[in-house]
Amino acid sequence: MQNRANNFIPMAQVALNDADLQTAVSFGTQAGFNKRQAAMFADGEAHGQAMRQQAAAIRRRALNNLPELLEQAEANMQANGIQVLWAVDGEEANRHALEIARRHAAQSVVKSKSMVTEETGLNHALEAAGLDVLETDLGEYIVQLGEETPSHIVVPILHKTKESIRDLLIEKAHMPPTDDPETMARFARETLRPRFLAADMGISGGNFIIAETGSLALVSNEGNARLVTSLPRVHVAFVGIEKVVATVEDYATLTQVLPRSATGQALTVYTHLVNGPRQPGEADGPEHVYVILLDNGRSAIYNSDYCEALACIRCGACLNGCPVYQATGGHAYGWVYPGPIGAVVTPLLTGLENATPLPYASTLCGMCKEVCPVDIDIPRMLLDLRRDLVAQGHGGAVWGVGMKAWAWGAKSPTRFGLGGRVAASGRRFMPQRLPGPLNGWTDYRRTPQFAAKSFRQLWQERKGADDEQP
């Protein structure tokens, strides 16, 4: 996907002025957040927190052993009859998929939701090679019809009102007019069903890979992921290398903490495991199953102080809880992953210089860390990214000069106190509009007033004692 993260500020402004988007995003995030609260703490606050810690430890243990677990996963998947391919970057992953399609003379492809394939731009690559690709997750199908991009990890069209979805289905898919979501969903079912049945190849993502058994784990509600992985004769799964977990016990915790955080469900409707292609004697299932393990910048993150970002299980809870995401929606973040986790992984996966506003798109309120089912310290990483941005010269010249000046003043109590007295005596002349980059303050707030006498002056007057020099 094209990366527009450097345009966050103007895109956020567009989003703030889009009344329909504001309504939809506000409603969607609130609903998601409330459902998460209810589900995570259904058995009490202490239990919910304990499960978060259990899940957090599972992910970190897996990351700590990542190379060994990948080898074990590969060996077990191969023993099950799954073919395992590795891809250093998105282009290589896409090439693997194309080669597989050619090998099996696959022309039509049905896809279930995979954020990783958005990273690699798989759909465009397949279409450019003449394949016919259909997104089958309802939200992704609508995104595809509208030639848009998803705006949320779990609910791709969170930013769209029911009316705009209706209009899109009428215009692009020739749906008979209706305002009823159930009718719209039936229409999509009937329209897409023949495509599932006729498809040569199914492409899915992967929520987890269980190393102990060589299983690919998927969670879904609609049934399309099951159709994609059961009907066509070839199934290809794209999975980030960080998704491996060690044991079935680890998987049991994660596959339950994920839906609670994402949609407020104890389990998604379909919690399934692909163990391999159809066995002898089985009447359905793919003849060939491939898993493409994708790096695409993850190994670089692994070797950095940001490794815990790889613990993410893509639940979207941080998006729903983030007051910035609630205000701007997902498109403003400019790339595949929006919200707090997006603000961290976009610069890390695509380069700091390609996402300079994102680490600053936060008040560091900490809600993301509070709702993360695996306790990722996103605020800590945002601060570190800001440090890295400044150190690499992306801080902006004006801010740099301003900060140096401020530090020069603030590191000396004499200058600090003097500065305060100057500002206080000039307070009658405080401008209605602050200069330069500070003018954003006065767009929404009155300028704060320096007091006639600072605290340190009042203290000294009270004590009437000599100054104690530091």
Q: Interaction with another protein in 39-98: which residues (CB under 8 A)?
A: 42-43, 47, 50-51, 54, 57-58, 60-61, 63-64, 66-67, 70-71, 76, 79-81, 86-88, 92
Interface residue with another protein among 295, 339, 346, 348 (CB under 8 A) is 295
For residue 370, what are the contacts with CB-CB under 8 A and spacing of at least 6?
321
The number of angstroms, rounded, from the C-alpha of 388 to the middle of its chain's C-alpha atoms is 21
Element (H, E) at 238: strand 234-240
Contact between 115 and another protein by CB under 8 A: the answer reads no
Tokens encoding 335:
């790339």
The answer to whether 320 contacts another protein (rule: CB under 8 A) is no
| Contact call for residues 378 and 344 (beta carbons, < 8 A) | yes
Stretch that binds another protein, among 256-264, 312-320, 333-341, 347-355 (CB under 8 A): 256-264
**Cα–Cα distance measured from residue 12 to residue 342, given in angstroms and rounded to the nearest whole number:** 15
- With CB under 8 A as the contact rule, which of the stretches 99-107, 127-135, 298-306, 335-343 interacts with another protein? 298-306
Q: Which residues pair with 82 in a beta bridge?
A: 289
231 binds another protein (CB under 8 A): yes
Interface with another protein by CB under 8 A: which range of 98-106, 124-132, 199-207, 435-443? 435-443
Binding to another protein in span 346-365, by CB under 8 A = 357, 359-365
Nearer to another protein, 127 or 249 (CB): 249
Give the sheet arrangement for strand 234-240, strand by strand. 82-87, 288-294, 234-240, 201-204, 108-111, 132-135
Nearest-approach distance from CB 161 to another protein, in angstroms: 6
Closest approach of another protein to the CB of residue 47, in Å: 7
Segment (H or E) for 215: strand 215-220
Residues in CB range of 427: below 8 A, 6 or more apart: 449, 450, 452
Token readout for 200 is: 């040569």
DSSP state of 8: H
With tokens 């007051």, the residue in question is: 323
- Residues 6 or more apart in contact with residue 139 via CB below 8 angstroms: 113, 150, 155, 156, 157
Any contact of residue 185 with another protein (CB under 8 A)? Answer: yes
Rule CB under 8 A: which of 7-36 touch another protein? 9, 12-13, 16, 24, 27-28, 31-32
375 binds another protein (CB under 8 A): no
User: Tokens 């919910």 map to which residue?
Assistant: 48
Nearer to another protein by Cβ, of 117 and 263: the residue is 263
φ/ψ region of 334 (left if φ > 0, alpha if ψ in -120 to 50, else beta) reads left
Q: Which is nearer to another protein, 130 or 179 (CB)?
A: 179
- 182 is an interface residue for another protein by CB under 8 A: yes
Q: In sequence order, what E strands does 33-192 have?
A: 82-87, 108-111, 132-135
Q: Is 214 in the site for another protein (CB under 8 A)?
A: yes
**Based on CB atoms, which residue is closest to another protein, 130 or 178?**
178
| 240 or 350: CB nearest another protein | 240
Q: Is 236 in the site for another protein (CB under 8 A)?
A: no
Nearest to 56 by CA among 311, 279, 401, 238: 311
**By CB under 8 A, is residue 400 in contact with another protein?**
yes
We find the least distance from the C-beta atom of residue 434 to another protein, in angstroms, to be 8
Instruction: Choose between 117 and 213: whose C-beta lies nearer to another protein.
Output: 213
- Cα–Cα distance, 115 to 127 (Å, whole number): 18
Structure tokens given for 297? 């910048």
Stretch that binds another protein, among 101-109, 119-127, 336-344, 392-400 (CB under 8 A): 392-400
Tell me how far apart the alpha carbons of residues 67 and 74 are, in angstroms, rounded to a whole number. Answer: 11
Binding residues for another protein, rule CB under 8 A, total 177
Rounded to an integer, what distance in angstroms lies between the CA atom of residue 27 and that of residue 149? 20
Residue 263: CB minimum distance to another protein, A:
7
Chain positions 414 to 433 lying near another protein, rule: CB under 8 A, are: 416, 420, 423-424
The residue from 78, 108, 299, 354 that contacts another protein (CB under 8 A) is: 299
Pick the piece of the chain touching another protein (CB under 8 A) from 97-105, 124-132, 344-352, 382-390.
Answer: 382-390
145 is a site residue for another protein (CB under 8 A):
no
How far is the CA of 262 from the CAs of 51, 119, 130, in angstroms?
15, 21, 35
Of the candidates 75, 105, 403, 430, which one interacts with another protein according to CB under 8 A? 403
3 vs 54 by CB, closer to another protein: 54
Our finding on whether 203 is near another protein (CB under 8 A) is no
Q: Which is nearer to another protein, 46 or 130 (CB)?
A: 46
- Residue closer to another protein, measured from CB, 3 or 80: 80
Does 207 help bind another protein (rule: CB under 8 A)?
Answer: no
Residue 99 as a binder of another protein (CB under 8 A): the answer is no
Phi-psi map region of 468: left, alpha, beta (phi>0 left; psi -120 to 50 alpha) = beta
Question: How many residues does this entry show for the chain?
Answer: 470
**Residue 72 C-beta: closest distance to another protein, Å:** 12
Which residues touch 82 (CB under 8 Å, ≥6 apart)? 214, 216, 274, 275, 276, 277, 289, 290, 291
